[in-house]
Structure 1
Amino acid sequence: MQRPTGGRAAGVPLWRWVSGFLRERWRVLLRLGVWSVLEAGQTFVVGYALARALDAGFLAGNARTGLLWLGAAGAAVCAGAYGTGRVYGVVAALVEPARDRLVRTVVARGVREADAGALSGLTQQVEIARDTLAGVVMVTRSFLFTAAGALIGLFSLDPLLLVVVLPPLLAGVALFAVTLRPLARRQEAFLAADEALAQELGGVLEALRDITASGAEERVAGSVGRRTDAELRTARALARWSAARVAALAVGGELPAVLLLVAAPWLLGHGVTPGALVGALAYVTQSLLPALHNLVHGLGTSGSRLTVVLRRLTRSDSRHREQRPPRGDGEPRRRPHTARTRPTTAPPSPPPALSLTSVTFTYGPGGEPVLDGLGLTLPQGEHLAVVGPSGIGKSTLTGLVAGLLTPQRGTVLVHGRPAPAPGATVLIPQEAYVHTGTLAENLALFRDAPVPEPELLAAADAVGLTPLLTALGGPGATVSPAELSAGERQLIALTRAYLCAAPLALLDEATCHLDPEAEARAERAFAARPGGTLIVVAHRISSARRAGLILVMDGARTTCGTHAELLRSSALYRDLAGAWTPRPAPLPR
């Protein structure tokens, strides 16, 4: 396979990618250097002209000479301004090709690997890299040429001035250089923690109704809290290392000015003129200190961010070839199943779809148990309806099965695994969630990849979504949740769950906004899924009668059986069936 242009080979370090890019544009770098010399020329001329204006002009009683030197300084400022304007154009010629190369890399990876992060890379990270690269080039170039101009000027005035200024300047730059790598690592850790928190919050905000309907507020709050604490720790670590930048600035930029003042008597006693001393102070305070300040704050923050973004955008293909969503907090790791040879040829019996053993659950330490010692075994492929008065614990039961709640006592097993069993259950609450986007994107929300259109259309036909799908304009039509009725949102959520691979479907009054015919069609579709098991919190007698088994929740008198058995054995079920049965229409008079 041909490697895409602009990509980075697997295992090639980032610095080689950058150096290769710079070598290809050596002419641009040469022009940048030429215009930077013109821009930095004012640094040398301003300090030197100020010293000569004092020594040869005003202090010598020759005001004309002093004014001429100040005029030369003004002319140098104008020439430097022209050079600065030319520098911006050359920087653009360097940065824009870097952006184009990054775009080619991201697009090639997105097309080749169906990278879900390609859109973010194009819309955010590439632009961050371009802007940050321009800033890094400007501050680094400015410091190098400004420092060179100032040091040459100090040497021209008197070499003794370098003895005072150069050591603290080198010490400050060295201290800053030592902190760059740790700062980059802390910056990357902080960005990763921030992205993880943003992703977590994005999922929470999109599913607020589902979380509230399922009673999962505490669990979600705990997960978000852990992400927040992780970001706080990385932010504090970044702040501690950022303090080193202040120390580097104080040593390299402010200490030389203090040393010049302290050593002024010694310098004047060794032949340094007053004008040279004033010129040296101008070099330090007007040139070196601002340049170092820009370098420390610009390169310290933008440079580490640029390193992180470039590393992500140009990461090796082997590392990015396959990415899976991170495992959720509290989600057990799946271990590979190892088949063992058994002495008997009879296949082992499959575990039940659901097994509850002595399950007790209470909201709050002093409350009455909602479920008290509940036991239930549901074979695979069964259709169970759960009925009972409001507040009896029907939604609590589905929350326990889905793993959103944890019982105080007892065990909940889904296909032989303790709840929550990832990939084994799908819960559809009463408040159906639909997000802005295409209908196909909404229906594929529980899938790792886009759903093939024939499969999507077949699911829509089975559940009863086809009329709405046609009215909206097909799978690619944009869906606006506010323009859909509650029943239409429920149909979309039901079809989404139908397309999910989870074998156990939990419908917690998920059809309450549908008419009886649409409800019957959706429930039959779920009951007919190959290998699928269905649990429905019923709100109509017709829904209960379609189920093979019915669980009547009545506190301590919870019973399970068929419709006919419960009519004989459960007074509550007889009352519910009577209340649900519509009264015959009155005869016309």
Structure 2
Amino acid sequence: MRSRRDAARLLRRTAADAIRARPRAVARAAAWSVVEAVPTALFGRAVAEATDAFRTGRTSTAVGWLGVLTVAAFAGAFGSRRLYPALAAIVEPFRDDLVRRVVRGALYRSARGRPDTGAVARLTHQVEIVRDTFGGLLVIARGFLFTAGAALLGLLTLMPEVALLVVPPLVLGLLLFGAVFGAAAVRQRDLVVGEEDVAARTTALASGLRDAVACGGEDALRAELGAAVEAQAAAGRAVARFAAVRALALAVGGWTPLLLVLAAAPWLMGRGATPGTLIGALAYVLHGLQPALRTLLHGMGGSGLRLAVTLGRILETSAPDGPVRAEPDGDVADAPAVELRGVSFAYGAGARPVIEDLDLVVPRGDHLAVVGPSGIGKSTLAALIAGLAEPDAGEVRVEGRPAGDPARRVLIPQEAYVFGGTLLDNLTYYAPDAPPERVSRAVAELGMAGFVRGLGGLDADLDPAELTEADRQRVALCRAYLAPQPVVILDEAAHRLDAAAEARAEEAFARRPGTLIVIAHRISSAARARRVLVLDGTSAHLGRHADLPAVSPLYRDLSGRWSDGSGAEPASGSGRSGGSEPAGVLGHPDGLDPVLRADLPVDAGEVVADGADREDEVLGDLRRGRSS
């Protein structure tokens, strides 16, 4: 939102989208708003009639009108009570949609090597601002429309000439406010963007403070951060000056009608107005129109600006709606489980590719292990296959379809996720209709029977904070085992388990129908696989465990160290890996093989599907890469 007109356009579109998305809730809110406005519609008329009745000695008539007003007040209170649940049905889904937009946008940029440090501010602060202000503005705008409408309707029934005096200045005040609202929104946007900029600079400064001090850069950083703070403060002062215009608009639209009615009193009396009529007209202005206008201007001038700008900022940083590629319905029967064609990926423009010109075919039912040094691109490859990252060049397809369809693959990352609820809820998240006997078989296949008994059974409630990392991995593995998706990707998903537990889990997945891709933490995972893909930074080698040492020096070194005892597996029950692999070759034993970060240690991280002629004997479905 960079122009004055964008603010009003954004608010109109937001309101229109909310009405179209939840028409029933909007209809209920409008109906109860009418009931709530009944006292306003009757107030001036009741005061006028009661005043004239008291003046002429008709006390019972006056009391009757006051009684009508009392009943109307009770009706309005009942309408207000029923109104807010209808408004909540509009606001809360709107807030949920904003959260999804922020998360999708942050993941979209992070997956492309541009970590979104402002996403935290948008998610924890700006989304709540939008939710609260959107709800408040619904109340304010709705209140103005129905309250002002009820007051004007009352004036028309009381004396139409009074309405002619009130409407022109009211409209003029609204036009004056609307004329400067867009400019104020632009200044408010500068304030919000400045908040994000200060947060991002502070985060970067905190993380690099030691280096900055070592290099003697304190003064430069202080000046740079101070300039950002001052720019934000200047934007705040510009927004504050808008309050003066808001006060002028209120004077024109709220107080001028009152002065006009008083000045025109002799003329109105000459046209048949009684003292009660004049008092009733003033009551409509002072207790109906003026409070409604004041609330609208203050609300739109404060909350409305924040809503327009903050919502615009969230929409600006949302993930773009990608083009929908037409795909035929149904399965592609002859397609492999996974296919990469000339795939390249780098973390940001100008960065050295982590994956470069890679061709790979994984047949259905295959068991593939991916090995290589930490940071070489193994987790990046897993993310590309899962569709969490998009290649800069080439194409990734899963079962003949573009990668990313969650119905075709399930990915278990290094850090397993467990949510609050029962153990059974967690295990059957992807397969909610799984019968109990199938769940029990999965638990037995993965060797989790003792773990389940220790928790208190499948119906035990889980507190994720009380589970160890190894326990969370057991839950995530069983969840993936029960999933109906045909392709399973385990990205060091068992690195917190001991070697025996990891072996049992991988063997169970290998027996499971479907395709298994394992990002290996131990060389033993490669020995169990049907085929192995070795990423060594200059080439990619695909073949059998027994054949790869002949063509891959890295794999020969790994296998040799493992087989000669220097990397012996730890005993079962240790709870985590010990020296099962040469230190620092396949990755840190704590699993520090980052996923989708722009600062991966990839100085030698160029992966090219190429090699010597003798590799053709074992490369199989890894076709020769094309030079970039």
- Name the TM-score, length of structure 2 as normaliser: 0.51
Q: 1:287 aligns with which of 284, 287, 297?
A: 284
CA pair 138-456 structure 1, distance change in 2 beyond 3 A: farther
SS in 1 for 2:356: strand
- CA apart distance, 1:507: 0.8
Q: 1:559 aligns with which of 526, 530, 541?
A: 541
Q: 1:491 aligns with which of 474, 477, 484?
A: 474
In the aligned structure 1, how far is the partner of 2:559 from the partner of 2:484?
Answer: 34
- CA apart distance, 1:565: 0.7
- CA apart distance, 1:390: 1.1
- CA apart distance, 1:508: 0.8
Matched residue, 1:418:
402
1:11-410 matches, within 5 Å, as 41-42=46-47, 44-46=49-51, 80=66, 162=159, 164-167=161-164, 256-264=257-265, 266=267, 270=270, 276=275, 282-292=279-289, 329-330=321-322, 332=324, 335-337=327-329, 350-410=334-394
State the one-letter code of the partner of 1:360.
S
In the aligned structure 2, how far is the partner of 1:420 from the partner of 1:254?
Answer: 60
**Contact 1:434–1:493 (8 Å) recurs in 2:** yes
**Contact 1:257–1:281 (8 Å) recurs in 2:** no
Matched residue, 1:482:
465
- CA apart distance, 1:95: 8.6
In the aligned structure 2, how far is the partner of 1:500 from the partner of 1:529?
Answer: 11
CA pair 330-354 structure 1, distance change in 2 beyond 3 A: same
Alignment partner of 1:568 is 2:550: yes
**Contact 1:38–1:79 (8 Å) recurs in 2:** no
In the aligned structure 2, how far is the partner of 1:426 from the partner of 1:331?
Answer: 24
In the aligned structure 1, how far is the partner of 2:169 from the partner of 2:436?
Answer: 63
Alignment partner of 1:507 is 2:490: yes
CA pair 93-557 structure 1, distance change in 2 beyond 3 A: closer
Q: Deviations over 1:492-537 (max 9, x none)?
A: 111222222221111111110011222112212221222x111111
In the aligned structure 1, how far is the partner of 2:476 from the partner of 2:291?
Answer: 54
Q: Deviations over 1:434-476 (max 9, x none)?
A: 12223233334335x5544333333333333433333333333
In the aligned structure 1, how far is the partner of 2:472 from the partner of 2:381?
Answer: 24
CA pair 47-511 structure 1, distance change in 2 beyond 3 A: farther
CA pair 460-89 structure 1, distance change in 2 beyond 3 A: farther
CA pair 272-352 structure 1, distance change in 2 beyond 3 A: closer
SS in 2 for 1:373: strand
Matched residue, 2:440:
457
Q: Deviations over 1:185-222 (max 9, x none)?
A: xxxxxxxxxxxxxxxxxxxxxxxxxxxxxxxxxxxxxx
CA pair 85-437 structure 1, distance change in 2 beyond 3 A: farther
CA pair 173-48 structure 1, distance change in 2 beyond 3 A: farther
**Contact 1:438–1:476 (8 Å) recurs in 2:** yes
**Contact 2:345–2:391 (8 Å) recurs in 1:** yes
**Contact 1:139–1:294 (8 Å) recurs in 2:** no
SS in 2 for 1:374: strand
- CA apart distance, 1:542: 1.9
- CA apart distance, 1:392: 1.3
Matched positions, count: 401
**Contact 1:168–1:255 (8 Å) recurs in 2:** no
Matched residue, 1:527:
510
CA pair 77-169 structure 1, distance change in 2 beyond 3 A: farther
CA pair 136-421 structure 1, distance change in 2 beyond 3 A: closer
CA pair 565-98 structure 1, distance change in 2 beyond 3 A: same
- Name the TM-score, length of structure 1 as normaliser: 0.53
CA pair 501-578 structure 1, distance change in 2 beyond 3 A: same
Alignment partner of 1:471 is 2:454: yes
In the aligned structure 2, how far is the partner of 1:98 from the partner of 1:371?
Answer: 56
Alignment partner of 1:537 is 2:524: no
Matched residue, 1:319:
none
Higher RCO (CA 8 Å, separation ≥ 6 residues): 2
CA pair 499-294 structure 1, distance change in 2 beyond 3 A: farther
State the one-letter code of the partner of 1:440.
L
In the aligned structure 1, how far is the partner of 2:162 from the partner of 2:73?
Answer: 30
CA pair 498-92 structure 1, distance change in 2 beyond 3 A: farther
SS in 1 for 2:416: coil
- CA apart distance, 1:271: 8.2
Q: Deviations over 1:540-587 (max 9, x none)?
A: 1221111011111112232111111123332211222244454479xx
In the aligned structure 2, how far is the partner of 1:151 from the partner of 1:557?
Answer: 84
SS in 2 for 1:391: coil
**Contact 2:265–2:278 (8 Å) recurs in 1:** no
CA pair 488-43 structure 1, distance change in 2 beyond 3 A: farther
In the aligned structure 2, how far is the partner of 1:474 from the partner of 1:92?
Answer: 52
SS in 1 for 2:390: coil
CA pair 455-557 structure 1, distance change in 2 beyond 3 A: same
SS in 2 for 1:564: coil
**What RMSD in Å do the two structures reach over aligned CA positions?**
5.6
Q: Deviations over 1:267-290 (max 9, x none)?
A: 57x4889x93xx655433333442
State the one-letter code of the partner of 1:353.
A
State the one-letter code of the partner of 2:535.
M
